[in-house]
Structure 1
């Protein structure tokens, strides 16, 4: 539950960063109609596509974490991912350069996005959301680190879904209202993003430290011992 709350918080605060990066796309989505209801419906469809892409990425990276966990390195992964989150938070260039990567696959995505933006249909809006979910973004990298750390396909998908839901209010408002927040306001709020990432990273480091703190930093050995203990009924049966 704590991890999902951190994913939602990362998405909420990160959406102010997204307003500058993805906001322009949200402003020019090809809605079939120009009414507020059409924009609301289209905006929800757009974000549904985007969140589905995030969930798929969560499944992929959660399965990677799950494979590592089966090798006995689950807590090491949580610890390492926490450190990486903090490093990313302390290196602003991760956010500035993440969308300028020259990768053929990404170039194809951008061309497809450009083509879809000229087609005023709801299915085009949905596909734009799907494709946009795969575009490089520093905040998505942070969220994917959390998905890996979950060491579970199911939890990885949930983590990325909650991250996507966190970004929804801000970008949906931009789609409906038709304008973005001022640069001054965005700058003031985005100052809290690195701090939030550091706190989430610290949470994962704490979990990977196995300090025996319930929910925050559980000790795997204690869990194993509890499962290994026989119930009282079984002990009574064996004594007969």
Structure 2
């Protein structure tokens, strides 16, 4: 996928639809990674009775902030990829980059899927990542400390936006994909679609399903793991194809094509 044109091709449209689908599936992971923070927000907003209009508005602001953050980061990574290709005069590098990205994304999604299936829960990769893991912990602590100042007002948008900067196995492959496209517009649209896909479940969790039982979460994660094992074959096969290695893959429309 090269620089964006005036319209979207059928493949690009299918790719955006796939990103929405990945967001819907991957939002179960969001509950595992960011669920504790979302629960903390919800507890600060909880009026002790039925869900209020204020709670709904604040959770909506939170999710808008997340989606906007994903979109802007997608645009930034896409633009950075385009600048690299243009500045270096390496248009052919795009194929190699997309191949490497496809393989990395496929292996990453595969590993996450195996983890979900075997443990029935999200892997806390954030805490284990060097440098970034420590940053995640500091940012999380800062967010919790500032909750009372932000959670009841427009600042809820900022809380949502900051989630785009937290280490996330769902976002990092998407950022790599945006970079590989070499297009700010395609990167923005792709990450926007992903963000929109995550909204329904995260919104519901923050407003109504915060008491989801551990057993139900485990079942959802195991089901997600099985789906991820299948989805991982698509970017992995496409990445290997860039190096002339043919691998069978499910006939699914995926963004890493």
- Consecutive unaligned residues of structure 1, counting only runs of 5 or more, are 210-215, 217-240
Tell me how far apart the structure 1 counterparts of residues 103 and 188 of structure 2 sit (CA, whole Å).
22
Of 39, 42, 49, the residue aligned with 2:55 is 39
Q: How well do the aligned residues superpose, as a CA RMSD in angstroms? A: 2.7
Mapped pair 1:117 → 2:147: yes
Name the counterpart of 2:177: 146
Closer/same/farther in 2, CA of residues 162 and 46 from structure 1, 3 Å limit:
same
Closer/same/farther in 2, CA of residues 132 and 67 from structure 1, 3 Å limit:
same
Report Cα offsets for 1:123-179 as digits up to 9, x if no partner: 232221111221001111111122112210111111111111111111101011033
Name the counterpart of 1:195: 230
**Residues paired across the two proteins, number:** 210
Mapped pair 1:84 → 2:104: yes
Name the counterpart of 1:96: 123
Mapped pair 1:55 → 2:71: yes
Tell me how far apart the structure 2 counterparts of residues 56 and 208 of structure 1 sit (CA, whole Å).
31
Tell me how far apart the structure 2 counterparts of residues 205 and 41 of structure 1 sit (CA, whole Å).
45
Tell me how far apart the structure 2 counterparts of residues 205 and 6 of structure 1 sit (CA, whole Å).
20
SS at match of 1:117: helix
- Consecutive unaligned residues of structure 2, counting only runs of 5 or more, are 1-12, 116-121, 245-252
Tell me how far apart the structure 2 counterparts of residues 2 and 68 of structure 1 sit (CA, whole Å).
26
Closer/same/farther in 2, CA of residues 76 and 84 from structure 1, 3 Å limit:
same
After the TM superposition, which parts of structure 1 deviate over 6 Å for at least 4 consecutive aligned residues? none
Closer/same/farther in 2, CA of residues 206 and 96 from structure 1, 3 Å limit:
same
Mapped pair 1:3 → 2:15: yes
Tell me how far apart the structure 2 counterparts of residues 66 and 202 of structure 1 sit (CA, whole Å).
24
1:97, distance to aligned residue in structure 2 (A): 4.7
Give me the TM-score of the superposition, normalised by structure 2: 0.71
